[in-house]
């Protein structure tokens, strides 16, 4: 696939006032979330839940793409393969291709991401099944002496190899180096670490000849750790995040999508709004939220078909609020407004 075709996918994912729905939880992760609600995690229950997400009315108004898990990519909605069913609704299908993390040798705190073995063949299959983009996540913990240079360098190299292989297969790579919120670090420390990680990642991407114009960066906002006594305001978070990105992300990258990373639904939206309200950046800014879009919907659904309409309404609402945030137009009023204000607020 040519760079032009890849850039066409990038443009679709970065459509105005739209972001990504990350529904790529592994079997272990979604099993834990279901268990907390007393829902048995089976192939059928997982399909039912994700079908609810993807068939939510008007979802494509604020969701341009959906990141799927391997199992979901192979499932169907009413006899239609999942990627085709999503495409019919105006949503681009993508696929998580990493295979989770393992402890780094000699470490009890740091991890490296698995999945490079056999990746070229898997990517070819995913493209054949209808995926148009991919995602690979690397995890970095903050703390005394963390992350180590070995962790940063090894994960940056894997992210670059993954991205190069994805583009070779005609798939747009979403490169996700996530610095976790765990810990008591302050805003400044987080800014330094995210900058250090991003600098290493882009150095490897360039070394491996990844076409920057045909990829997306998925990163966390610059946040104080959950244990930090000095919690920053949304405005402070926005300033630190944008300063960090300006110093570390090449202008050739077309878009940056923010992960929610354990933030509450409303906090993630408020902070996204503050960041996007700045506007003076060379990239398109968007979101790639999992729990910050799904939490309330999953709680309401509770595994019961009778709760489908209410759960869909909750997902619609969160997608709408984040659409407002991408325009810098989110406020507390947006939490209670319906589609009636949408045309005015997002014009």
pLDDT tens per residue across span 83-94: 999 999 999 999
Q: Averaged over 149-172, what is the pLDDT?
A: 98
Q: Which two tokens stand for residue 12?
A: 């679709």
CA–CA distance, 37 with 47 (Å, rounded to integer): 17
Residue 57 contacts residue 306 (beta carbons within 8 Å): no
Q: Averaged over 52-67, what is the pLDDT?
A: 98
Class for domain 3-345, per CATH?
alpha beta
Q: Averaged over 177-205, what is the pLDDT?
A: 97
Q: Averaged over 39-44, what is the pLDDT?
A: 98
Q: Is 38 exposed, middle or buried (0-12, 13-18, 19+ CB in 10 A)?
A: exposed
What letter would DSSP give residue 336?
Answer: T
Return mean pLDDT, the chain. Answer: 95
291-316 tens-digit pLDDT = 999 999 999 999 999 999 999 999 99
Task: Determine which one of 176, 191, 270, 312 is catalytic.
Answer: 176
Residue 339: pLDDT over 80: no
Q: Averaged over 63-71, what is the pLDDT?
A: 98
Domain ranges of the chain: 3-345
What letter would DSSP give residue 302?
Answer: T
Q: Averaged over 60-69, what is the pLDDT?
A: 98
**Quick one: pLDDT at residue 343?**
39
Q: Averaged over 121-143, what is the pLDDT?
A: 98
Residue 276: pLDDT over 70: yes
Residue 341: pLDDT over 80: no
**Residue 176 annotated as catalytic:** yes
Residue 6: pLDDT over 90: yes
CA triplet 180, 27, 287: central angle to 5 degrees?
45
Q: Residue for token digits 């960066």?
A: 217
Residue 131 contacts residue 173 (beta carbons within 8 Å): no
**Residue 43 annotated as catalytic:** no
Residue 110 contacts residue 154 (beta carbons within 8 Å): no
CA–CA distance, 332 with 275 (Å, rounded to integer): 16
Q: Is 96 exposed, middle or buried (0-12, 13-18, 19+ CB in 10 A)?
A: buried
Residue 333: pLDDT over 50: yes
CA–CA distance, 56 with 50 (Å, rounded to integer): 10
How much is the pTM?
Answer: 0.95
Residue 182 contacts residue 225 (beta carbons within 8 Å): yes
Q: Averaged over 198-214, what is the pLDDT?
A: 98
**Quick one: pLDDT at residue 18?**
98
Residue 344: pLDDT over 60: no
Residue 230: pLDDT over 50: yes
Residue 115: pLDDT over 50: yes
Give the β-pairing of 284-289 and 111-113: unpaired
Give the β-pairing of 216-219 and 111-113: unpaired
Residue 96 contacts residue 24 (beta carbons within 8 Å): yes
Residue 158 contacts residue 116 (beta carbons within 8 Å): yes
Cis peptide before 103 (omega within 30 of 0): no
């Amino acid at each position: 696939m040519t760079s032009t075709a890849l850039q066409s996918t990038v443009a679709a994912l970065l459509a105005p006032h739209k972001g990504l729905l990350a529904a790529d939880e592994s079997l272990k992760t979604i099993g834990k979330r279901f268990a907390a609600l007393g829902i048995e995690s089976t192939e059928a229950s997982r399909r039912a839940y994700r079908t609810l997400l993807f068939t939510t009315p008007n979802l494509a108004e604020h969701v341009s793409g959906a990141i799927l898990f391997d199992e979901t990519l192979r499932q169907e909605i009413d006899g239609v393969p999942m990627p085709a069913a999503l495409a019919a609704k105006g949503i681009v299908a993508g696929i998580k291709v990493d295979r989770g993390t393992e402890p780094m040798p000699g470490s009890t705190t740091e991890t490296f991401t698995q999945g490079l073995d056999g990746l070229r063949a898997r990517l070819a299959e995913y493209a054949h099944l209808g995926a148009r983009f991919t995602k690979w996540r690397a995890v970095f913990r903050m703390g005394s002496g963390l992350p180590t240079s070995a962790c940063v360098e090894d994960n940056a190299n894997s992210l670059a190899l993954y991205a190069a292989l994805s583009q070779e297969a005609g798939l747009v790579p979403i490169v996700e180096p996530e610095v976790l919120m765990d810990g008591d670090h302050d805003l400044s420390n987080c800014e330094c670490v995210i900058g250090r990680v991003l600098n290493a990642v882009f150095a490897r991407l360039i070394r491996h000849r990844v076409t920057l114009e045909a990829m997306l960066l998925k990163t966390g906002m610059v946040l104080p750790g959950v244990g930090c006594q000095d919690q920053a305001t949304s405005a402070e978070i926005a300033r630190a995040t944008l300063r960090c990105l300006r110093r570390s992300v090449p202008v050739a990258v077309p878009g940056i999508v923010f992960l929610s990373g354990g933030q509450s639904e409303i906090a993630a939206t408020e902070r996204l709004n503050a960041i996007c309200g700045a506007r003076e950046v060379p990239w398109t800014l968007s979101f790639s939220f999992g729990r910050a879009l799904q939490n309330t919907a999953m709680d309401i659904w509770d595994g019961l078909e009778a709760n489908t309409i209410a759960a869909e309404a909750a997902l619609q609402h969160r997608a709408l609020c984040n659409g407002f945030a991408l325009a810098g137009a989110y406020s507390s009023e947006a939490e209670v407004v319906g589609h009636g204000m949408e045309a005015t607020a997002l014009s």
